[in-house]
A and B are shown apart, each in its own frame.
Chain A
C-alpha cells in the first residue's frame, strides 16, 4: 500500500557538507506516507546528518530536500516554521526542558500554536501522556523521570500537534532491553493507529527488524546510500557482502565503527 502512497519526503541529489568536508553525497530518497523508514549504518556514516537535513536543522550544500511539499533546503524561515509545525522530533537525549514540568513541556506547543482554553489544553496534555502510558505524571519535573520515561515523554511532546511525520534519533540508546521493546511497540502503535510516517535513525538490529518497513543504509567510505529495502530481505539476499554482514551482526563488516575523524 505504501508503494502508491503520497511522498512526504523527497530528497534529490543531496550533498551534505560541514566546513567544506563532504559528509553525504548523491542522496536520493523518497519516503511515502505511512512508511516506517530506518536510517542505518555504522558510527560516523552520516545518519544523524541526514536526519538533521530532513528536519531542516541543516541545509544541504546542493540538491533538494522537500518535506510535506516544501523545499526546506532553500525555503525561508516562514516555510521552515510551517514544516516544523507539521513534524515531530524526538531527540536522542530527549531534549525536554528541565525547568518545566512534564505537562508544561507538552502544553508549551499547544499554547504557542493554538488558542485553546486552559482546560482543553490540560485535557490534551493528559491525553498525549496517556498515549505513552504516562497519564498522571504531568506535575513531575523532568529530573524526577527515569530514562525510559523521558524517552516516552519526548515521544508525547513530539506528537503534541498530531504531526504527519515523526523523526527519532537513536530512540533506544541507553535503554534496557525491556523498555526498548516497549518503546518500539509504542512507535508501531502510533504508526498503525494514527497513520503517522516514521523516520528513525538507529543501529539497534532488534528494533530495525521489529519496526522498520524499509531501511536505508549509509556507508562512511562512499558517503552515500549503499543499500535500501526490507531489512530481512537485505540480510538474506543482498548482493553486497558487507550489507549482509551488518544485518547478521558480523564483526569486521566494513560498516562497523568508523570514527568521525576518519571521514574525509
Chain B
C-alpha cells in the first residue's frame, strides 16, 4: 500500500491538488515526481490542499519547494489553500524565497576579489618571500635556542627532552633495524650477482661497508626520522597552534623556542647519530648474511676485509651527515608546525609538507656532502 494518495481536479488554468497520507523523506521523491506529472502545460495556478496529510517532515517541505521551483520554470505559481497546524509550523521556519534564490556568495556580502594573472604572480612572490623570511627567522631562533641550551644547560627542559629522546630514538629502533638490515641484504645481494662473475666475491665487504657507512646508513635513518619524528613534531606543534596553545605561551611571555623547539632539536641531535651507528652495524650484518649464505664466504673473511677497507673517517663522515640531517628534520618539522592555520585539515596539510620538505632537504644536503667530501 502506498504511503500517500494524490487527487487532482482541473479547473481551466488552475489545478487543485490534494495530498493525503504521509509526506516524508522516505517518499519525497515519489510524491514530487507524481505531483509534477499531473501538472499539464496549460496550467498557470496550482492550489495545494495538504489538510489530509497525517505526517509531514523535511521530505514534505522538499516536495512543496521542489514543486514551486518546477512550476516557476513554467511561469506557473503554487498556493497552499489548506494545511494542518504542524505543516504551517514547519513551513513558518523556512524562508522559501531564500531557498529558491541564488547563494550568498553570488549575492555579494562576501564578494570574491577577481585576481589578474599579474596580481596572482605578485601574490605568489610575496607569499614565497614571506615564507623565506619565516625560514630565516626560525633558523636564527633555533640556533639561538641551541646556543642557550649549551651555555645554560640547567635551563633546558630536560624532562621533555628525555621524552622526545625516547620517542625519536628508542621507539624508532625496531623500524631502523629492519630497514637497515634489508638495505644491507639488498645491496649485498645485488653486488654478489655481479661480483661472482669475476670471482671477486671478497669485494662484497668493500661495497657493502663503504655504501652503508658513508651513504645508506645515515640517509635511510634520516629519512625514517623525517617520516616518524619530523611528522610528529609538525603535527604536535600544528595542533597546539590551531588550539591557540602557542599564542597562550607567547602571551604568558614564555619563549616558544625554549619550550617547543629546543627539546625536540636536542633530542634528535643526540639520537639520530646514535641510530645511525646502530643502522651501520645492522646493515653490515645484513651484508654478512648474504656473504655467508649466498657467496659462502666465511664470516671471518668478510669481517677482516671490512676492517681493512673501512677507515674511521667513513663512519665519522656518516655521523657528521646525521647531525646535519637531525637539524634539518627537527627544524623543518617544527617550522611547518608553526605554519598551521585554521583547523584539523591544516594540521594534516602541514604534516605532509613537513615530511616532503624534510626528505627533500636531506637529499639536497647529502648531495652537497658528497661533493664536499670528494674534494676535501
Q: Report A's interface with B, CB cutoff 8 A.
A: 98-99, 110, 114, 116-117, 119-120, 123-124, 126-131, 133, 135-140, 142-144, 159-162, 189-190, 192-195
Contact = CB atoms under 8 A, between A and B. Distances in A.
23 contacts: A98-B345, A99-B345, A110-B25, A114-B25, A116-B29, A120-B32, A123-B62, A123-B66, A126-B99, A127-B99, A130-B93, A130-B99, A131-B93, A133-B95, A135-B101, A136-B104, A136-B105, A139-B105, A140-B104, A142-B343, A160-B58, A162-B25, A162-B57
A123 B65 CA distance: 8
A190 B66 CA distance: 22
A124 B58 CA distance: 7
A123 B89 contact: no
Given A123-B99, A162-B25, A194 B105 contact: no
Interface in B91-148: 92-96, 98-99, 101-107, 110
A245 B161 CA distance: 49
B73 to A, nearest CB: 13
A183 to B, nearest CB: 14
Given A136-B98, A142-B343, A189-B93, A127 B103 contact: no
Nearest to A134: B104
Contacts of A135: 95, 98-99, 101, 104
Given A114-B26, A193-B90, A127 B104 contact: no
Interface in B28-80: 28-29, 32, 57-59, 61-62, 65-66, 69
B86 interface: yes
Given A137-B103, A195-B86, 19 more contacts: A116-B25, A116-B28, A120-B29, A124-B58, A124-B61, A128-B58, A130-B93, A133-B95, A135-B95, A135-B98, A135-B99, A137-B105, A139-B103, A140-B105, A140-B110, A143-B343, A193-B90, A193-B93, A194-B89
B342 interface: yes
B301 interface: no
A143 B29 CA distance: 33
Contact of B25 (A159, A161, A190): A161
B93 A138 contact: no
A9 to B, nearest CB: 21
B299 interface: no
Contacts of B104: 135-137, 140
A192 to B, nearest CB: 7
A76 B106 CA distance: 47
B89 A98 contact: no
A120 B103 contact: no
Contacts, number: 95
Interface of B: 25-26, 28-29, 32, 57-59, 61-62, 65-66, 69, 86, 89-90, 92-96, 98-99, 101-107, 110, 342-345
A195 B85 CA distance: 11
Contacts of A142: 343
A159 B28 CA distance: 17
Contacts of B95: 130, 133, 135
Most buried by A among B32, B62, B95, B101: B62
A144 B112 CA distance: 13
A136 B102 contact: yes
Contacts of B98: 126, 130, 135-136
B92 to A, nearest CB: 6
A179 to B, nearest CB: 17
Contacts of A127: 58, 61-62, 65, 94, 99
B90 A194 contact: yes
Those 7 A-B pairs whose CB atoms lie nearest each other, nearest first: A135-B98, A193-B89, A136-B104, A98-B343, A162-B57, A99-B345, A130-B95
Nearest to A144: B110
Contacts of A190: 93
A130 B94 CA distance: 6
A117 B30 CA distance: 11
A136 B104 CA distance: 4
Contacts of A98: 342-345
Contacts of B57: 162
Contact of B69 (A123, A124, A159, A193): A123
A123 to B, nearest CB: 5
B103 A124 contact: no
Contacts of A162: 25, 57-58
B103 A136 contact: yes
Most buried by B among A116, A140, A189: A116
B241 to A, nearest CB: 14
A213 B89 CA distance: 19
Nearest to A113: B25
Contacts of B92: 189, 193
B292 to A, nearest CB: 52
A129 B93 CA distance: 10
Contacts of B58: 124, 127-128, 159-162
Nearest to A136: B104
Contact of A120 (B62, B89, B345): B62
B97 to A, nearest CB: 9
